[in-house]
């Protein structure tokens, strides 16, 4: 039994690794071609290669679930095609045992994905963007369009964040309890010193009911806020590029400020539950080998794996925004595709047993 387990697990591990390698290689090549349009005297082809190398961990993190699905379909399909799976079943090995044999190598890739997503990809992505911006935009990291933040009655917008924590182009609006505008200010740049922000070169416009608008300019002032460089760096990144720690930190901040955190909550739960998502995809892949895909060609199995992966991804993409519109929990939105895959997989496996 031990030899059979090792043989099946090794076959599936190699199939998953080969699938991941092929997908990653294709992504690297096409991504590099896409970077060629940015090549200039400063941003050379070498820099484009370095940029793609740095962002690849994040891409690999996203590919692992679908590589596991296709790899399991290919690995078990190969065993089924050579009748080895039939021999294993004839030796008295149950389907549940074969499922465990298939899941063993998958667990290695799940652990790899967790390590990449939490400790490598977020920092590699930031380094890649910072390096690229240093060459093309003098270290300036533009924030996504229309990104605002609020603290109590203060609304703020920052045009750009530098990797060293310096903010540029800060616009702030202060409102009273009746939601009437009290003042507006524009700061050229701000630095974080001794756990607080120091603004430099500030233009202030105060609203006075008697005198109207009063304009003034000051060189420096302190800015009391809970926004830290870490929070601004989080704002400068897309939710799916952040680690679970950063997502949890920012969700707590938004909830403390009584702001909606649904998009970041969805990204957080997707990362937390990615191991379950991978297992659910693998389970449905295994059930297809013993069921609908028992006697088809390898290309058909791979195509089926791609289709299943695309459907799963579309469900995730659709249910996430739906939770924002209809107001149900982001956790539920993430769990629905997982439960569907598990339910279909279990039903098909029971019919095959």
List the chain pLDDT tens, one digit each, 353 residues. Answer: 788 999 999 999 999 999 999 999 999 999 999 999 888 888 899 999 999 999 999 999 999 999 999 999 999 988 888 889 888 888 888 888 999 999 999 999 999 999 999 999 999 998 898 788 777 665 555 566 546 788 878 899 988 877 667 888 899 999 988 888 999 999 999 999 888 899 999 999 999 888 788 899 999 999 988 888 888 888 878 898 899 999 999 999 888 888 888 889 999 999 999 999 999 999 988 888 887 656 667 677 778 888 888 899 889 888 888 887 888 889 999 999 999 999 988 888 888 76
**133 and 269 fall within a common domain:** yes
69 in a domain, yes or no?
yes
Quote the CA–CA distance of 184 and 337 in Å, as a whole number.
46
* Contact present, 173 and 186 (Cβ < 8 Å): no
Token pair, residue 198, equals: 């120091």
Give the model's pLDDT for residue 170: 92
**41 and 189 fall within a common domain:** no
**121 and 270 fall within a common domain:** yes
31 in a domain, yes or no?
yes
Residue-wise pLDDT for 286-328, tens only, equals 888 887 656 667 677 778 888 888 899 889 888 888 887 888 8
Quote the CA–CA distance of 159 and 315 in Å, as a whole number.
34
Domain-ending residue, one of 230, 255, 277: 230
Q: Residue 203, SS3?
A: strand
252 in a domain, yes or no?
no
40 in a domain, yes or no?
yes
Give the model's pLDDT for residue 105: 96
**10 and 132 fall within a common domain:** yes
Token pair 């090794």: residue: 10
**170 and 213 fall within a common domain:** yes
242 in a domain, yes or no?
no
Pairing label, strands 181-193, 196-208: antiparallel
**123 and 204 fall within a common domain:** no
Domain-ending residue, one of 177, 207, 230: 230
Token pair, residue 161, equals: 């964040």
**305 and 321 fall within a common domain:** yes
**122 and 160 fall within a common domain:** no
165 in a domain, yes or no?
yes
Quote the CA–CA distance of 269 and 307 in Å, as a whole number.
24
What separation in angstroms does the CA of 20 have from each of 257, 279, 283, 303?
41, 16, 18, 15
Q: Say whether pTM exceeds 0.85.
A: yes
Which ranges of 41-94 does DSSP label H, i.e. alpha helix? Answer: 45-81, 84-90
Quote the CA–CA distance of 263 and 149 in Å, as a whole number.
15
**25 and 95 fall within a common domain:** yes
Give the model's pLDDT for residue 296: 67
**321 and 194 fall within a common domain:** no
Q: Which residues contact 24 (CB under 8 A, 6 or more apart)?
A: 56, 59, 60, 63
Checking 150-158 for CB contacts under 8 A at 24+ apart, the result is 150/257, 150/259, 151/225, 151/226, 151/227, 151/257, 152/257, 153/177, 154/225, 156/227, 158/232, 158/235
Domain interval for residue 183: 144-230
Quote the CA–CA distance of 80 and 237 in Å, as a whole number.
45
Quote the CA–CA distance of 353 and 351 in Å, as a whole number.
6
Looking at residue 119, the DSSP 8-state letter turns out to be I
241 in a domain, yes or no?
no
What is the domain count for the chain? 2
**14 and 133 fall within a common domain:** yes
* Contact present, 286 and 76 (Cβ < 8 Å): yes
Question: At how many degrees (to 10) do helices 95-115 and 330-352 cross?
Answer: 150
User: How many other β-carbons are positioned within 10 Å of the β-carbon of residue 287?
Assistant: 23
Give the model's pLDDT for residue 46: 93
Q: Which residues contact 251 (CB under 8 A, 6 or more apart)?
A: 261, 264, 265, 268
**130 and 277 fall within a common domain:** yes
Domain-ending residue, one of 187, 205, 230: 230
239 in a domain, yes or no?
no
């Amino acid at each position: 039994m031990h030899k059979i387990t090792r043989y099946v697990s090794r076959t599936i591990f190699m199939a998953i690794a080969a699938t991941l390698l092929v997908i990653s290689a294709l992504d690297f090549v096409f991504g590099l071609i896409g970077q060629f349009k940015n090549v200039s005297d400063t941003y050379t082809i070498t820099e484009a290669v370095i940029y793609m190398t740095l962002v690849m961990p994040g891409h690999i993190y996203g590919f692992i679930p679908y590589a596991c699905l296709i790899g399991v379909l290919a690995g078990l399909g190969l065993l089924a095609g050579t009748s080895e799976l039939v021999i294993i079943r004839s030796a008295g090995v149950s389907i549940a045992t074969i499922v465990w044999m298939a899941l063993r190598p998958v667990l290695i890739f799940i652990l790899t994905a967790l390590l990449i997503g939490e400790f490598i990809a977020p920092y590699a992505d930031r380094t890649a963007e910072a390096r690229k911006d240093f060459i093309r935009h003098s270290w300036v990291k533009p924030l996504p369009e229309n990104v605002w933040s609020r603290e109590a009655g203060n609304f703020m917008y920052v045009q750009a964040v530098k990797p060293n924590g310096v903010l540029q182009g800060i616009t702030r609006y202060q409102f009273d309890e009746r939601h009437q505008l009290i003042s507006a200010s524009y700061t050229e740049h701000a630095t974080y010193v001794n756990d607080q922000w120091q603004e430099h070169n500030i233009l202030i416009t105060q609203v006075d009911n008697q005198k109207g608008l009063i304009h003034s300019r000051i060189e420096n002032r302190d800015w009391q806020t809970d926004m830290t460089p870490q929070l601004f760096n989080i704002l400068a990144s897309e939710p799916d590029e952040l680690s679970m720690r950063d997502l949890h930190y920012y969700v707590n901040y938004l909830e403390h400020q009584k702001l909606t955190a649904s998009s970041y909550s969805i990204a957080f739960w997707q990362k937390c539950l990615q191991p379950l998502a991978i297992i659910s995809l693998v389970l449905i892949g295994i059930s297809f080998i013993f069921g609908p895909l028992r006697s088809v060609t390898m290309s058909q199995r791979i195509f089926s794996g791609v289709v299943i992966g695309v459907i799963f991804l579309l469900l995730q993409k659709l249910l996430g925004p739906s939770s924002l519109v209809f107001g149900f929990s982001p956790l539920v939105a993430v769990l629905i595709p997982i439960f569907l895959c598990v339910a279909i997989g279990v039903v098909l496996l029971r019919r095959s047993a």
